[in-house]
Structure formats: C-alpha cells, structure tokens
Amino acid sequence: MGRETLKDVGPLHQLSINFGLDDRILIWYQTMLSAGSVKSLFQGFYHSVKPGSRNLPMGFLAPICERIMFIWALITRWFRYQRNLEVDMNTLKRMLEELDSQTEDIGQKLEAEPPLPIRRHEDEVYEWLENVERIKIRIQTIEQLGERKYLSRAHFVRLVDEKIEEVKELLQKGSLYSEISMKKQFKYVIIGGGVAAGYAAREFVKQGLKPGELAIISKEAVAPYERPTLSKAYLFPEGAARLPGFHVCVGSGGERLLPEWYVKKGIELILSTEIAEVDLHSKTLTSSTGRTFEFQTVIIATGSRVIRLTDFGVQGADAKNIFYLREISDADELVEAIRAKKKGKVVIVGGGYIGLEVGAAMRINQFDVTMVYPEPWCMPRLFTQEIAAFYEAYYANKGIEIIKRTVAVAFDADTNGEVKAVKLQDGRVLQADIVVVGVGAKPLTELFKGQVDEEKGGIRTDGMLETNVPDVYAVGDVATFPLKLYNDMRRIEHVDHARKSAEQAVKAIRAIEEGKSIEVYDYLPYFYSRAFDLSWKFYGDNVGDPLMFGDKNPASGKPKFGTAWIKNGKIVGVFLEGGTDEENKAIAIMARVQPPAEYLDQLKREGYFIA
C-alpha cells in the first residue's frame, strides 16, 4: 500500500510525513486498531506468545512491544498536539476579536474632543496600535503557512502559543490605556454637589483657580443650590421658587452661580454621578459606573441622608405618597402630590425643622395638616419648652393639629398602593392623602470608614477642616471639628456651617500651597427658620439657664420675643423671633462676646428691645 492509500487513514498519513514512519507499520496498526481496543490488542498478543505456548518465542515479543509502544506514544502525542492546537487557535481568534474591539475604542478616544487623559500618552498609544497591526499580519502569515503544510505540527503549535502570549500582553496594555481614558485627573475634587460644594467653588475662584483644576462630583442632576428653599418657598402655591432662582450663593446674599458660571471658570461639574468607592491613600475615586477620578486634594462634602421609617421596619412605610425631603427630586415629587391631592389630608411625622417648615407650607396649600412627634415639645434640641409652646400655639391657631408623645407604627394603603391612613402607637388612626416624614438625618461617611478618624458620628478634622489624612478635608454635616469658642468638638447640621466650613477649607488648602498661615475655623453656631409670617434666629449655645423676654403671645399681630441662655454669669446664647436686621446682628455679637448677664438690664434701661 502506498502513500495514496495512507491518505485514507487521515492522521496516520500526517504522522508518516511529520515523523518519518514506515507506511507498513502505520497501516498494520490501523488494521489492528480497527479490530478492537488497544487493550484488547495487547492482551490477545500477549496470550498468544506467553511462555509455554506453541506460538512465537519470548525473544520475539520484546522488540515488537517496544515498537508498538513507541508508535502509540507518537500517535498520542499527535492527538494531543491536534487537540491543543484547536483550543489554542480558538483562544487566539477570540483574543484577536477582543483586540480589534479595543483598538477601535482607543482610536476613538484618541480623537475625542475635548481631549481625554489618554491624549497625554499619545506616542505610547500609537506605538501600541502599530504593534497590534504588526502582530495581526504575523498571525495571518502563520495561519497560511500552517494550512499549506510548510510547518511541522509541533512548530506550528509552538508559534501559536507564542502569539497568544504576545496578544495577551497587548490586551493588558490596551486595558491600561482604556482605563486611562476613563480616568479623569484633577488638582482638586469636591465629593458632593450640595451647598458646601458651591461655596467652596466660589472660594477657589476667589483664591485664583486655574481652568481644569477643580471638579465637583454630584449624584444630583443640577448645579449646587440653596437646599433650605425646598421646605419653604419651593412648596408655595403661588410664586413658588424654582431653579435657576436659588442656585448658590443667593442664600447668603451673594452671586447666583448658574451652570454657565462653572463652565466659564473652567470648573467641571460632573453631575448624576455617584461615587461608589474611595481610596484616599491612592487618591482615587470610582463611580458606580466604573469611571475613575484621581485627585491631589479632596474635600468631602457628602452631607447627610434622611432617616427613613423603612430603616426601622415600620409596616407599610413603603406605600406611595410617603415623602422625605432632601434633594430637589424629592421636592418635585411632593409638589406633584400636592397638585394631585388638592386640599386633602396631610400627616407630618416629626417635629423638627422639616416638620415645622413643611407643615406650614402644606397649610398654606390649604391642606388639613396633622403633626405627630414623640417628644414633649417641638424642636427639642434647640427650643426650651416655653419657646416651643409659642410655636405650637401659633400653629394651632393656623389650623394645624399637633399630637405629641406618640409615633407612627404602621401605614395603610389603598388598592393603588397609595397611603390612606397612619396608625399611631397610642391607638389613634389618622386619615392621610400625603405623609411627609422628617425624623432626622445621618451623615454620609460610609465611603470613608476605616480611612479617616471619626468622632461624634462625623469625620474628625482639625481647625483647618483637614482630616488625619493629608490633603483630605471634610466640611458641612460630615465634619466633626474643634469649636474654638467653646473648646469642644462639635458636628453641626446646618446650612450656615456648610457654607462657612467650605470656605474655610479652601482658604486652608491654598494657604498650605502658598506657605502662608491663616486663623483656625472660629465658628459661631447659628440656626434660623421661617414659617408663615414668623422668622427666628439663634446664635451661640443653648446651655445654662434660659431667660425669656418680650411678647410671646401667639395671638399677637406681630409677635416678638427672645430667650437668652446664662451660664456662669455670662450670656452664651440668644434666640430672637421677629427681630430686625440690626437686632439680629446685635444678638450675634452678644453670643460671641459673651457679656455678663447684667448686660441685659443695661440694654433694657437704654430702651433696646433685647432685654
């Protein structure tokens, strides 16, 4: 039988070519193999020549077995090469497809406008692209040589393995370039797009910011705005506040920073982007979509998140038309409900800032309003019982029912899933078309756990608002800072502190860069609110003995009264309802200077109201 016949037995013919085997041996083996398994072949052959038989002598057995085992090893090796080659070729094909996709993506990013960070590595990337084209040509050549049998099988497999490793290296480098193209690098980054971010941006510009140095990363879809508006004028039935009317910094009487302002100043507003991972050591931020941001200095201005009744497993708390108020999207949803449930019933859960301000706004919208809170009086963290009694009576005169010393334990919903009733712990059931919950907030510090020191629920800072990690600052709700006036560490949740701490952090950052020194943050606690025709302000600390003065009759046309807190014979805090601008400035000075308590008598003798 010649080689033409050997072609009919497929792989054996290739063996004869690659390894120079005798055709007769291969044909014999193919014939014997077709008669049964290899094991049966050897067993039968062995028994035919075993000692004592009349068949072939033992001396003939050894060389035949050796020859057969040699042939079997060659065949096994060939099949292994064949199997590995198929796997390797499929792997190489898949990797080449991935490399093509990577090449196209990186090519587009090189041409992107405005330029992406990958442009800074332009020479390297073009060299990489040339290497990609070069290896694709080489692989194509190897495939053609293999198909024409110009290469031995072993040599072909070895070349394919080598090209797989080379393509793997190119893919790894391409991944790095892709990562660079997704990576944005800034000198300064502010995490959070609330009030503090806007005031920090303005201060950076005052200090001489260069275009492209600063980015603000916010999960909200709009530029920084004055958040307190959401619980007041945003909810009014007439003349309601809307953006762009209350972008920062109008809340403190400053310029309104529209989105165009940031563009003009070269500040990148990265909106609708939530940071999912933070590595302060490597100075890297990663968004929920995988985008990477690198910084030299970062300001943490993440603020707080509302505490939800679902956090406590309150039954039915996930019903529709139960609202929380923190972001403008929350306020928009509430406004839609106000329009849909005109003059309906509203239950306000909570007696703090949100409860009192939203309660007033809902009553102005002619809703039937009931407020529910567990404390013995409203705003217990700031108000004395006497101060609270005035506001509770005033609200009652406006038609708002107040239920104290109980909590909402469950909510009932209708067939549409909308809330229809609130069940209280004391057994009462309140009908409701809308429920607004304001039971507090929690600072958003989870991303930084284990990376920065914490104290009193916030991120501990020094008097410059810098954390224990160099080049990392915290401002606003998340910062626990040294309150110089009282030699104490405090965490304060209020817009005034958000504004001023943001400005202080930026001043501190630039001072360090310029080798200058500035005064530490010397904050005077300040709180305020407006509801109905009322407007109050408080400065200082509400510790010591309260001394009330003025007209605290809730039925008065223009009530005007105040309270001073006396500690160790000094005035340490002052509250004033209905004060003029001049009077409000006076109580701020009083709270900072901390004059003796007798100063109130002097003011009274001189005819000042604040006495």
Residue 52, amino acid: G
Q: Average per-residue pLDDT in the chain?
A: 87
Crossing angle of helices 11-19 and 23-34, in 10° steps, is: 150
Q: What is the pLDDT of residue 46?
A: 46
Q: Which amino acid is at 588?
A: A
pLDDT tens-place string over residues 27-79: 545 555 454 444 454 545 444 444 554 544 555 556 666 666 667 666 666 55
**What burial letters (b/e) apply to 189-220, b meaning 16+ CB within 10 Å?**
bbbbbbbbbbbbbbbbbeeebeeebbbbbbbb
Q: Which residues of 403-432 are buried (b: 16+ CB within 10 A; e: fewer)?
A: beeebbbebebeeeebbbbbbbeeeeebeb
Conformation bin of residue 450: beta by default, left when phi > 0, alpha when psi is -120 to 50: left
**pLDDT tens, 223-245?**
999 999 999 999 999 999 999 99
Average pLDDT over residues 102-112: 77
The tokens of 595 are what?
Answer: 């004059």
Tokens for 519? Answer: 């005064």
* Whether the predicted pLDDT of 26 surpasses 70: no
Residue 24 has pLDDT above 60, yes or no: no
> 225 pairs with which residues across the strands?
247
Span 164-206, pLDDT tens digits: 889 888 888 877 766 656 678 899 999 999 999 999 999 999 9
pLDDT of residue 346: 98
Q: List helix spans (H) across 7-57.
A: 11-19, 23-34, 38-49
Q: What confidence score (pLDDT) does residue 518 get?
A: 96
Give the per-residue pLDDT at 238: 93
Q: Output the CA angle 569-490-383, nearest 5 degrees.
A: 60
Write the CA distances from 564 to 107, 235, 387, 525, 567, integer angstroms: 69, 33, 11, 14, 10
Separation between Cα atoms, residue 119 and residue 77, nearest integer Å:
50
Helix 11-19 / helix 58-110 crossing angle, nearest 10 deg: 90
Q: Which residues contact 356 (CB under 8 A, 6 or more apart)?
A: 371, 378, 379, 391, 395, 529, 531
* 3-state secondary structure labels for all residues of 379-423: CCCCCCHHHHHHHHHHHHHCCCEEEECCCEEEEEECCCCEEEEEE
Residue 25's pLDDT is what? Answer: 46
Strands (E), 97-172: none
Q: Name 568's Cβ contacts closer than 8 Å, sequence gap at least 6.
A: 544
pLDDT in tens, 241-274: 999 999 999 999 999 999 999 999 999 999 999 9
Contact 401, 369 (CB under 8 A): yes
Of 59, 138, 63, 57, nearest in space to 96 by CA: 138
Structure tokens of 154?
Answer: 């072993």
Per-residue pLDDT band for 163 (boundaries 50, 70, 90) equals confident
- Band of the pLDDT at 100, cuts 50, 70, 90? confident
Q: How many CA atoms lie within 13 A of 424 on its CB side?
A: 22
The pLDDT score that the predictor gives to residue 447 is 97
What whole-number distance in Å separates Cα of residue 130 and Cα of residue 152?
Answer: 30
* Cis bond before residue 114 (omega within 30° of 0): yes
Residues contacting residue 175 through CB under 8 Å, at least 6 positions apart:
102
pLDDT tens-digit profile of 279-334? Answer: 999 999 999 887 889 999 999 999 999 999 999 999 999 999 999 999 999 999 99
Q: Answer whether residue 10 shows pLDDT above 70.
A: no
* pLDDT tens per residue, range 506-556: 999 999 999 999 999 999 999 999 999 999 999 999 999 999 999 899 998
Helix (H, G, I), strand (E, B) or coil at 534: strand
